[in-house]
Amino acid sequence: MASLVQHLLARANRAHSVRSYNALVARFRRQYRGDYDMAMIASIGALSPIEFAQQGDGHVAVLRHHGLQDGMSVYDLGCGSGRTAMALQRSGWQGHYKGADIVKPLVNYLKSKCPGYDAVVHRKLTIAAPDESLDMVFHWSVFTHLYPEECFLYMEDTFRALKPGGRLVFSFLELEDAKHHGVFDSRIGRFRKHGWSDTLDVFLHRDWIAYWGQRIGFEDISFTDGTDGTHHPEFWQALAAMTKPGSS
Ligand SMILES: C[S@@+](CC[C@H](N)C(=O)[O-])C[C@H]1O[C@@H](n2cnc3c(N)ncnc32)[C@H](O)[C@@H]1O
């Protein structure tokens, strides 16, 4: 009996982001009943269709800065409702796109807007791609909702799936940036009032990310402040980038 309870607790915990994100998307679908586009836009944190498109264009500018070229195979972890996919499509980029997310309605929405793009529901902490098959793996505001250990496992499997010379680029929250304090403050408010929060918002440290990256085998690990608009529009979240050694 004890081991069954332990097993069920472990399963429930393992699925924390699946439960919380499915509940969040269901809430927005109720809130925007009759406006499915807005439900899908709000589900990934954008406030309007214009913001959704502008942010997507910013994502593409970040990818271009980090080496995105036509003909590449890219993987969008936690692709949501297709903010980046639609922007890639708008930009005229030609290549192989694969998105993965844990929420089926988000994946279906992306596929309806980007018919030539591949997207799957994938709920393991792995990259749904063969060894050394990807030129770039990217994710925006995904590690913000995962435990550090889950982030590490995703990074480890990203290394496996990247081609030699392939790049990993992702965004994260850090308390060193005063602009991220509002997220923490609202969590404190929720914990003070209710004793818990229905979603996880995680703040990472650059030295943890660098340590994980080095331990896994990545090189050329770099960071960009969320307020840095030198090479692309300011991202708001901080960015990490790293390379799998070798050349493709
Ligand atoms: C803030 S949204 C960002 C969506 C998308 N990356 C974008 O920028 O438009 C976070 C996304 O991460 C997904 N997600 C949450 N937990 C995840 C997990 N364990 N594995 C993969 N994706 C996850 C959510 O379903 C959601 O689509």
Give the closest residue (by CA) to ligand 1 atom 27: 80
Whether pLDDT at 10 is above 70: no
The strand order across the sheet containing 96-101 reads 118-121, 96-101, 73-77, 134-139, 162-172, 238-243, 219-224
Statement: residue 164 has pLDDT above 70: yes
- What average pLDDT is seen over the chain? 95
- What is the band of 2 on the pLDDT scale with cuts at 50, 70, 90? low
Tell me the average pLDDT across 175-195: 95
pLDDT of residue 174: 98
Share of the chain above pLDDT 90, in %: 90
| pLDDT-wise least confident of 82-96, 117-131, 132-146, 184-198 | 184-198
> Cβ contacts of residue 242 below 8 Å, gap of 6+?
167, 168, 213, 218, 219, 220, 221, 222
Domain 50-243 falls in which CATH fold?
A: Rossmann fold (3.40.50)
**Contact partners, residue 156, CB within 8 Å, separation at least 6:** 216
- Enumerate residues 6+ apart whose C-beta is below 8 A from 144: 171, 172, 173, 201, 202, 237
| pLDDT over threshold 80, residue 194 | yes
Contacts of 157 (CB under 8 A, 6+ apart): 125, 126, 127
Confidence class for position 11, pLDDT limits 50, 70, 90: low
User: Would you say residue 5 has pLDDT above 80?
Assistant: no
User: Which ligand 1 atom sits nearest the alpha carbon of residue 21?
Assistant: 25
Cβ of 78 less than 6 Å from ligand 1: yes
Q: 91, 108, 70, 220: which is closest to 99 by C-alpha? A: 108
Probe ligand 1: pick from 74, 77, 139, 145, max atoms within 8 Å of CB? 145
d(CA 161, CA 129): 6
Query: Residue 205 gets which letter from DSSP?
Result: -
Statement: residue 12 has pLDDT above 80? no
Assess whether the C-beta atom of 209 lies below 6 angstroms from ligand 1: no
* Residue nearest (by alpha carbon) to ligand 1 atom 4: 80
The residue whose CA has the least distance to atom 1 of ligand 1 is 44
pLDDT at 147: 95
Q: If you average pLDDT over residues 98-118, what whole number do you get?
A: 97
Cβ–Cβ contacts within 10 Å for residue 124, how many?
A: 12
134 CA to middle of ligand 1, Å? 19
Q: Is the dihedral of CA 41, 29, 179, 201 positive or negative?
A: negative
Mean pLDDT of 23-37: 95
Residue nearest (by alpha carbon) to ligand 1 atom 11? 78
- Answer yes or no: is the C-beta of 103 below 6 A from any ligand 1 atom: yes
